[in-house]
């Protein structure tokens, strides 16, 4: 991987995911000759820790990409729609964490453990999938290869960090307000999130599903390369700081027993099985926070159908669900000499 040293930029560097991207680049010793932190004018001049020093945040503008080979974007869909094409025209490859490009047929949507070969088709922009989709497909893919998945029913329990720094702060503030017998104030979410669950992530669509729920459906089919997989989702925001959890029901064409599933998943890249209910061993967000792996447990047969499994999947939404996956994409691009327009 060190054959080519790269000039790297992180767009949205002051946000929760942007900061995690910088931390991940450092921890994984990504081969960069230089790393630049880019953000809006409001954040310009801030300092972010990196490799024992500080990066001074630069204001993002149309000239930011002339001396970059690779840009990791995590600054929202509007910023990505405007600046990703500008970066590509400047000769910079973009890995984008927003939803702006995910369903564009010209843009690969990639989870390196699942569909790394799709990167060869990139035209300058690669999309990072939704956090809740990423952790699910790393578990579904090895099962699909053995038993061919027909249908998936997923309910998510998603941490507030998925909304960003303001949501983390809002939950902290609400907890303090409630312990001080004050009325909790909600601005980021439509209702209080402290000690509550909101079955509402992103906007509601005409079919009464949320945009987050439909992202999981469409992104899973695209990443898995199989539009015949039927999927339905309910996504819920819960009062957890870090780590998304998912209850996943899978129906396969070929029967896979729970014991077989444990063996398959124990060998799957990026997955760790934590599954011994008699010893109260199962994944929880407190296990996943700060970790790179996706954890799976509560693997059991769905006794209501012939070929069904129930799974409980947990991962750090800022790591594997965002920053780590983006950096892993970048690593594969380097490894396969695909850092080029």
How does DSSP classify residue 11? E
H helical segments located in 51-199:
77-89, 131-147, 165-179
Beta bridge partners of 232: 153
244 is catalytic: yes
Give per-residue burial for 184-222: e unless 16+ CB within 10 Å, then b: bebeebeebbbeeebeebbeeeeeebbebbbbbbbbbeb
Q: How far is Cα 150 from Cα 252, in angstroms, rounded to an integer? A: 5
Does 197 qualify as catalytic in the annotation? no
**Please, are residues 271 and 263 in contact by the beta-carbon 8 Å criterion?**
no
Q: How far is CA 177 from CA 170, 184, 191, in A?
A: 10, 6, 14
Query: 209 is written with which tokens?
Result: 């599903």
Catalytic residue of the set 122, 131, 144, 287: 131
Pick the catalytic residue from 92, 122, 144, 244. 244
Do 228 and 220 contact (CB within 8 A), yes or no?
no
320, burial (CB in 10 Å: exposed 0-12, middle 13-18, buried 19+): buried
Residue whose tokens read 């898995």:
224
Between helix 131-147 and helix 211-224 the angle, nearest 10°, is: 40
Rounded to whole angstroms, how far apart are CA atoms 141 and 267?
A: 12
**Residues recognised as catalytic:** 131, 244
């Amino acid at each position: 991987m060190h054959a080519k040293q790269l000039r790297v930029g992180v767009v949205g560097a002051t946000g929760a995911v942007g900061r995690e991207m910088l931390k991940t680049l450092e921890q994984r010793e990504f081969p960069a000759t230089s790393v630049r932190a880019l953000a809006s004018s409001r954040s310009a001049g801030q300092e972010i820790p990196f490799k024992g020093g500080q990066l001074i945040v630069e204001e993002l503008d149309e000239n930011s990409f002339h001396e970059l080979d690779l840009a990791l974007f995590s600054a929202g869909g509007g910023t990505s729609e405007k600046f990703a094409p500008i970066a590509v025209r400047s000769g910079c490859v973009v890995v984008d964490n927003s939803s702006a490009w995910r369903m564009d047929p010209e843009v690969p949507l990639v989870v390196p453990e699942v569909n790394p070969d799709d990167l060869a088709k990139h035209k300058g922009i690669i999309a990072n999938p939704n956090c809740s989709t990423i952790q699910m497909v790393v578990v579904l893919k090895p099962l699909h290869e053995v038993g061919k998945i027909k249908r998936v029913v997923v309910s998510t329990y998603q941490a507030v960090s998925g909304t960003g720094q303001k949501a983390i702060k809002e939950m902290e503030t609400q907890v303090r307000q409630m312990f001080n017998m004050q009325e909790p104030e909600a601005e980021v979410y439509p209702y209080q999130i402290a000690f509550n669950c909101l079955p509402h992530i992103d906007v509601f669509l005409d079919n009464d599903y949320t945009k987050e729920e439909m992202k999981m459906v469409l992104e899973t089919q695209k990443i898995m390369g199989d539009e015949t997989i039927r999927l339905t989702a309910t996504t819920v925001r819960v009062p957890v700081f870090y780590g998304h959890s998912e209850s996943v029901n899978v129906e396969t064409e070929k029967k896979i027993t729970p014991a077989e599933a444990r063996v398959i998943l124990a060998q799957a890249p990026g997955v760790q099985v934590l599954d011994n209910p008699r010893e109260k061993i199962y994944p929880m967000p407190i296990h996943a926070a700060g970790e790179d792996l996706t954890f799976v447990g509560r693997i059991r047969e769905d006794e209501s159908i012939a070929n069904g499994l129930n799974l409980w999947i947990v991962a750090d939404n800022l790591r594997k669900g965002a920053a780590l996956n983006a950096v892993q994409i970048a690593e594969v691009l380097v490894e396969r000499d695909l850092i080029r327009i």
